[in-house]
Amino acid sequence: MSRNLERFIGHEFEIYTYTIEQSKVNELVAVLNPNSTVERGNEYVPVTFPTVIEFWGSPISIAKELQLDLKKVLHGEQEYEYIKEFAVGDEITVASAIENVYEKASMSFIVINKKFINQKDELVAIGKTTIIERF
């Protein structure tokens, strides 16, 4: 049974800012390659870092805000389009909005578009997340 999530299309979430710190970059690199050693001062930021920004920076729970049943929620898809490189010290502001909601095979698909903008007001990346809720 549908929950009429289509009413959320265009909904904008609270904007937040996240500063990229070397320690968080080091943690991610260690997870990606546990056998590597990370030199202090290394300014390389892995391309998967926007996921860290989302997990550590977001002040809200999208599932709570949309009143999704977490027992029925799946992570459907995650993709990023990179416009510029992320750098340690960047202050990244994230603006997110629901781009689309559709139903298929007794599931609701919620597509969220995210823009990652640095302190120079430059678009660094665009993210797209699909959340699935079974009904």
Average pLDDT, the chain: 90
Average pLDDT rounded to a whole number, residues 50-73: 92
Res 40: pLDDT: 46
Whole-number pLDDT of residue 39: 52
Domains of the chain in sequence order: 5-134 (3.10.129.10)
Beta-bridge partners for 103 = 108
Looking at the predicted structure, is the pLDDT value of residue 126 above 50? yes
Close Cβ partners of 108 (under 8 Å, ≥ 6 residues apart): 2, 3, 5, 101, 102, 132, 133, 135
CA distance 82 to 50: 10
Residue 44: what pLDDT?
A: 75
State the pLDDT at residue 35: 62
Residues whose CB falls within 8 Å of the CB of residue 120, separated by 6 or more in sequence, listed in order: none
The pLDDT of residue 41 is above 70 = no
* 133: amino acid identity, one letter: E
At residue 37, does pLDDT exceed 90?
no
- Is residue 13 within 8 A of residue 96, CB to CB? The reply is yes
Q: Per-residue pLDDT tens for 74-122? A: 999 999 999 999 999 999 999 999 999 999 999 999 999 999 999 999 9
Whole-structure pTM value: 0.87
The share of the chain scoring above pLDDT 90, in percent, equals 70
Supply 11's token pair.
Answer: 């909904």
Residue type, 98: I
Cβ atoms of 129 and 97 within 8 Å: the answer is: no
